[in-house]
């Protein structure tokens, strides 16, 4: 009877070790996947920040042009200047909408990065 219990005990321990080993390997694999996802999310966030800066610069330039055209239109009352002003207004609105969308995407991406970092942290504990 003792021999049977000893053999079962060792087999149980071996099964526990195998289970723990498999669990550890799975956790390491999940952690590596999360790290890779985090790397891609951070790269995407970097690209979005660059695109956002570029659009903000373009928006600033268009705003300055609009201001100049507005002053010119008021001083000359020229129809061509007025049409150019309308075109610039439309461009500025499009830029502002793109800017708003990029900010929203950037916020979502940062939330995703925070979630991934939390998952990586939790997989370490």
pLDDT for 62 beyond 50: yes
Structure tokens at 23: 């669990």
How large is the average pLDDT for residues 77-92? 70
More confident residue, 76 or 43: 43
pLDDT for 1 beyond 50: no
Please state, for a pLDDT cut of 90, what percent of the chain lies above it. Answer: 10
The pLDDT-based confidence of 121 (bands split at 50, 70, 90) is confident
CA angle 104, 44, 59 (to 5 degrees): 50
CA 93 to chain centre: 24
How large is the average pLDDT for residues 78-89? 68
Please state, for a pLDDT cut of 70, what percent of the chain lies above it. Answer: 79
Q: What whole-number distance in Å separates Cα of residue 119 and Cα of residue 58? A: 37
pLDDT for 114 beyond 80: yes
pLDDT for 2 beyond 80: no
Q: What whole-number distance in Å separates Cα of residue 92 and Cα of residue 98? A: 10
pLDDT for 110 beyond 90: no
42 Cβ neighbours under 8 A, 6+ residues apart: 113
Residue carrying structure tokens 């799975």:
26
The pLDDT-based confidence of 79 (bands split at 50, 70, 90) is low
């Amino acid at each position: 009877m003792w021999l049977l219990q000893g053999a079962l005990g060792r087999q149980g321990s071996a099964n526990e070790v195998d289970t723990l080993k498999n669990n550890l390997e799975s956790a390491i694999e999940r952690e590596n996947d999360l790290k890779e996802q985090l790397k891609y999310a951070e790269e995407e966030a970097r690209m979005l920040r660059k695109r956002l800066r570029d659009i903000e610069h373009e928006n600033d330039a268009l705003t300055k042009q609009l201001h100049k055209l507005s002053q010119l239109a008021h001083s000359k009352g020229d129809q061509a200047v007025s049409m150019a002003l309308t075109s610039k207004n439309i461009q500025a609105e499009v830029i502002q909408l793109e800017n708003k969308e990029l900010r929203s995407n950037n916020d979502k991406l940062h939330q995703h990065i925070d979630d991934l970092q939390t998952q990586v942290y939790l997989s370490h504990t």
